[in-house]
Amino acid sequence: MVHLMYLHGFLSSPFSQKANESAVWMAERGYSDYFHCPQLPMEPYEAGKEIQAALERLHGEQVCFIGSSLGGYFANWAVEEFGGKAVLVNPAVHPYIMIKQYVGQQRNYQTGEIHMIDAAFGEHLKTYERSVSDPSRYWLMVQTGDETLDYRESVTKYAGCAQTVIEGGDHSFQGFGEYLPLVWDFAQGGS
């Protein structure tokens, strides 16, 4: 079976609602050994190293990433660098531009940990930008009511990829859990 690796977003953690929904769904089916959700460090270079380390622990087994927001940006990078597939949920497309409004102290939504975002953060993020080499390896899921990111940027970047565009909703992607059977099918080779 193909493993699922959930990559959480900016100022988030493995305790996020979508990560928890995914973990519970997998556990209920006896697939806990095939679900992974690393705690990504805030600093982009360290986050990239953690994703690579998580993949190395799987010893070359196949992976489908579920990337939410900034995790979607990293999932795109990981697919292009290491292979696999990705389900991108309201993904960040140009986070190195948007990050400028977060310079300073920021609090993690789940853990309460304080992070200092500096000007170099955006430059580090930009090094992870990748184009899509094979659209069949990606499934974009966006909601038009996303209050944080402009869903149209994702629709444009992932043109040619499978896309689910839902009217309304928000950045958290309301109703995500309902899509988990389809996410699992996509990961295992379905379309």
Q: How many domains does the chain have?
A: 1
Q: Is residue 102 over pLDDT 60?
A: yes
Which pLDDT does position 110 carry in this prediction? Answer: 81
Q: Taking residues 79-83, report their average pLDDT.
A: 98
> What is the overall mean pLDDT for the chain?
96
Q: Percent of the chain, pLDDT > 70? A: 99
What confidence category does residue 109 fall into, taking pLDDT thresholds of 50, 70 and 90? Answer: confident
The string of DSSP letters for the chain reads: -PEEEEE--TT--TTSHHHHHHHHHHHHTT-GGGEE-----SSHHHHHHHHHHHHHTTTT--EEEEEETHHHHHHHHHHHHH--EEEEES--SSHHHHGGGG-EEEE-TTT--EEEE-THHHHHHHTT----S-GGGEEEEEETT-SSS-HHHHHHHTTTSEEEEESS--TT-TTGGGGHHHHHHHHTT--
Which pLDDT does position 131 carry in this prediction? Answer: 97
Expressed in angstroms, the distance from the first to the final Cα of the chain is: 16
- Structure-token match 């659209």, residue found: 135
Q: Is residue 87 over pLDDT 90?
A: yes
Q: Using an 8 Å Cβ cutoff, are 83 and 61 in contact?
A: no
Domain containing residue 44: CATH number: 3.40.50.1820
Burial class of 110 by CB neighbour count within 10 A (0 to 12, 13 to 18, 19+): middle
Which pLDDT does position 191 carry in this prediction? Answer: 56
What confidence category does residue 112 fall into, taking pLDDT thresholds of 50, 70 and 90? Answer: confident
Its domain, for residue 97, covers 3-187
Q: Which of 67, 56, 61 is nearest to 19 (CA)?
A: 67
What confidence category does residue 54 fall into, taking pLDDT thresholds of 50, 70 and 90? Answer: very high
164-189 pLDDT per residue, tens:
999 999 999 999 999 999 999 999 99
Q: Percent of the chain, pLDDT > 90? A: 92
